[in-house]
Amino acid sequence: MALRFEVIGRFNRARAAQLTLPHYICQTPLFMPVGTQGTIKGLTYSQLEDIGCQIILGNTYHLALRPTAELIDDMGGLHKFMNWDRALLTDSGGFQMVSLLHLADITEKGVTFQSPADGQPMLLTPEESIQIQNKIGADIIMALDDVVKTTITGPRVEEAMYRTLRWIDRCIAAHQRPHEQNLFGIVQGGLDPVLRDICVKGLVERDLPGYAIGGLSGGEDKDSFWRVVAQCTAALPEDKPRYVMGVGYPLDIVVCSALGADMYDCVYPTRTARFGTALVPEGVLKLKHKVMANDERPIDPTCSCMVCKTYTRAYLHCLVTKDALGSQLLSYHNLAYMMRLSKELHLSIVEGRFPDFVREFLKAQFPRGDVPEWVCNAMEVAGIDISSCCAHLSAPVYKASAIPNC
Amino acid sequence: MRFAVKATSGGGNGKARAGVLQGWGSFQHSVETPALLLSTRKGLPSFITPDLLQALPLPDSRLLHVSPLHFMECPSSRTISSMGGLRQMLGLPEHLFVSVGRDSIDSLPVIEGTNKLGASFETPSGRLLVRPEKYMEIISSLKPNLWATLADEVPAWAVEKRNKASVERTIRWLDECIALDLSGGEAILGAVVGGSSLEERSRCAKEVAKRNVSGYWIGGFGLGESMEERPALLNAVVDNLPEEKLRYVSGLGLPEEILEGVAAGIDLFDSTYIYHLTLGGLALVFPLDTVDKSRRSPFDFPPSSAVNDGTKINLSSTIYRKDKSPILEGCGCFTCRNHTRAYLNHLLNVHEMLAQILLEIHNTHHYLGFFRSIRRAIGCGTFDMFRQSFIESRRELFVSSMTCS
């Protein structure tokens, strides 16, 4: 084990913690930007530091392809290669293979696929995934799991869950650097609470440094999504970090944090930036829209990032989707927004005002009180009273003007 | 605006000069010339955000070239004015903006499109016809520190009649722009054209010199003329312009072309060199200190001229896969201080935007360094030697790299 996880604040299930990793001391809840190929698209490491990024995610599949794990190892590990001093997390490579590759198939041995380089049949085993991740050198590495889409039902889901448990033992055995890198297990089991429970218990028996909740964010309905998260966070140990993979939208992060999760990752903020969409407390701002052409306000008047302190919506409207700088500036702001969200989650829990924060967040996102039902149900389980935010729960108090202008 | 010539280079025909552009109005810095204006797209560099821009050498990196053509569609002139013009809109209040119609990267003049009503340009938004009134409307909203009047630029192969017409039109538009100028005329650079005709170049320069402008923008170069005919054409213009006023030429981008322009007495340049190098995954490595033949042997560089010709290296090449050294040892730019050739090689191979960002930073830093060397040589009275040396050493490397491969 190469981490320390210390809970320093709570509200019901939500917790704020200090996560000490070999390269950095982090505050949770936190969001991890995805730096697929050893870089966050369009941003330098100094800008990521300015914004407050604590952990960055690298994709093992892409890095193993180019520039290869051997080369990264020769360079002294991914930290040195990228010149990133803070923490890194690598995934196992399994998910990308299954979702990106034609004719990828999962057997007991591992994931078989056609090499994208030359079409040769190849096999990614749990052992090999761990070996590659050992070479890359991230602070947190993920076990190779058998992940199925949540939209799939039937015996395949059960098979995948049991295989994931068998593979975790192979991952543990193959792990060469347990004192420098933390191997997280991933809870699978689809949307079936029985399977999820078995998987949680199985992983917890192995006493891993941390646990991830996998197999979500793949098209399942939100009602099923939050229930799986709630079940897993309730069953996973208190004193270890909990990482919900592939999440996501700010709203999802707030809900999952209320339910007791600590870490998140998603391509959404940077990807949506490249399409000209900015993240704001009210939701999203589509800068491509004609309406922005003469709007002299910053993206978000409450944001103190370099982009919001310098540029107007009108100018950014000209740049987005047309010029590289548009992508860069918007990615910068969107990640700054996510870091700010992470910080607010952490601080509001530590300072004993988490429910207020949640209510403020929901009011900004749903000014008409139309908070989705799944959020209301989740918050009830989380023990947070959001009746003042929900039109159908409280007496409607509408302003006469109505349509929000963004 | 205040421009003063501080020194001229001895030897040769002694036309190279070092000058100072003195801060005025919103620009409170002094800038030495000959200087490079950094190319921009809608006012900002192609890949460098303002926080990274300020890490480039100062005050050199405060000079930006901007084209009104980038603002023909949006934001509207009214919005730009409302935002306070270029400096406020771009968040670069300490920078000096020089505006020229032509943007040599992607908004080039179209000879057959221009007519008596306006100048035609081929841009990413299609073909635009720019009338003097519209041009001045954008200029007044942008409020650049210096701006060139609207010109009809023709390429080297234009027929005599067309060339003559371009001179007439350019002078007429010069007068129209001056008349429409709302800011007292301090910021105007009179446009001088004339294609490949020595007579027309002289004639145009003489006419423009009669107008009350602060300096001159020399257009019509980099549009097909040969390197051989250019010196005479440049001299035909410069010889007819007053010594004490600023001269800016567009279209001379390569190091040899810059040296040629400096030798003819030019003070300001813009260049597409950095942009094209960056897009091509190339990084400048030529030595900036005194070009001393004995210090560089052809065998210092790998024999493949496709990868390293002594001027630049092709970072996409596999020979850099594991190279842990910076692009250029001793370079103080952000890229060389923080990243390796191996990392850049990887970024280029996986088509990541960060590659262009890091390359534009390095290449800009290096090219600004080249201009510093030029100014230093003029100051020491050794410009002609510097220029000779530079050209000869590049020729040597080409020859030797060809024989080794």
- Mean pLDDT for A121-139 is 94
CB < 8 Å to B45, chain A: 325
Residue A294 to residue B109: CA distance in whole angstroms = 29
Q: Give alpha helix (H) positions in B105-211.
A: 132-142, 160-180, 198-210
At B11-42, the pLDDT tens digits run: 556 799 999 998 777 788 899 999 999 999 99
Domain boundaries, chain A: 4-267, 274-383
Residue A270 to residue B372: CA distance in whole angstroms = 39
Is A265 known to be catalytic?
Answer: yes
Q: What CATH architecture applies to the domain A4-267?
A: Alpha-Beta Barrel (3.20)
Residue A161 to residue A164: CA distance in whole angstroms = 5
Do residue A66 and residue B346 have CB atoms under 8 angstroms apart?
A: yes
Q: What is the pLDDT of residue B342?
A: 98
Q: What is the pLDDT of residue A321?
A: 86
Instruction: Fill in the amino acid letter for B299.
Output: F
pLDDT band at B146 (very low <50, low <70, confident <90, very high): very high
A295 annotated as ligand-binding? no
Do residue B347 and residue A45 have CB atoms under 8 angstroms apart?
A: no
Do residue B338 and residue A66 have CB atoms under 8 angstroms apart?
A: no
Tell me what the pLDDT averaged over chain A comes to.
Answer: 93
Domains annotated for chain B, with CATH where assigned, are 2-271 (3.20.20.105), 281-404 (no CATH)
For helices A373-382 and A250-258, the axis angle rounded to 10 degrees is 30
CB < 8 Å to A296, chain B: 79, 82-83
Q: What is the pLDDT of residue A52?
A: 97
Of B51, B82, B349, the CB nearest to A306: B51
pLDDT band at B303 (very low <50, low <70, confident <90, very high): very low
At A268-307, the pLDDT tens digits run: 999 999 999 999 999 999 999 999 999 999 999 999 999 9
CB < 8 Å to B91, chain A: 309-311
A9 annotated as ligand-binding? no
Peptide bond into B75 cis (omega under 30): yes
Share of chain A above pLDDT 70, in %: 95
Q: What is the pLDDT of residue B400?
A: 59
Q: What is the pLDDT of residue A398?
A: 52
Which DSSP state fits B295?
G
- Mean pLDDT for B53-70 is 94
At B309-363, the pLDDT tens digits run: 788 999 999 999 999 999 999 999 999 999 999 999 999 999 999 999 999 999 9
Of A47, A67, A318, the CB nearest to B321: A67
Residue A335 to residue A315: CA distance in whole angstroms = 20
Least confident of A259-273, B200-214, B273-287, B391-405: B391-405
Q: What is the pLDDT of residue B405?
A: 45
User: How big is chain B, counted in residues?
Assistant: 405
Q: What is the pLDDT of residue A102?
A: 64
Q: What is the pLDDT of residue A403?
A: 46
At A144-174, the pLDDT tens digits run: 999 888 888 899 999 999 999 999 999 999 9
Closest chain B residue to A84, measured at CA: B338
pLDDT band at B300 (very low <50, low <70, confident <90, very high): very low
- Mean pLDDT for B58-74 is 93
Q: How far is B343 from chain A (nearest CA, A)?
A: 6
At A47-79, the pLDDT tens digits run: 999 999 999 999 998 999 899 999 999 999 999
Residue B218 to residue B220: CA distance in whole angstroms = 7
Instruction: Fill in the amino acid letter for A368.
Output: R
Cβ neighbors of A311 (< 8 A, separation 6 or more) are A298, A299, A329, B91
Which DSSP state fits B69?
G
- Mean pLDDT for A345-357 is 98
Is A223 known to be catalytic?
Answer: no
Of B49, B340, B352, the CB nearest to A39: B352
At B358-402, the pLDDT tens digits run: 999 999 999 999 999 999 999 999 999 999 999 888 777 666 555
Residue B163 to residue A259: CA distance in whole angstroms = 75
Place of tokens 């001159």: B216
pLDDT band at A116 (very low <50, low <70, confident <90, very high): confident
**Residue A118: pLDDT over 90:** no
Q: What is the pLDDT of residue B22?
A: 87
- Mean pLDDT for A99-115 is 81
Does the CA dihedral A79-A84-A88-A92 come out positive or negative?
Answer: negative
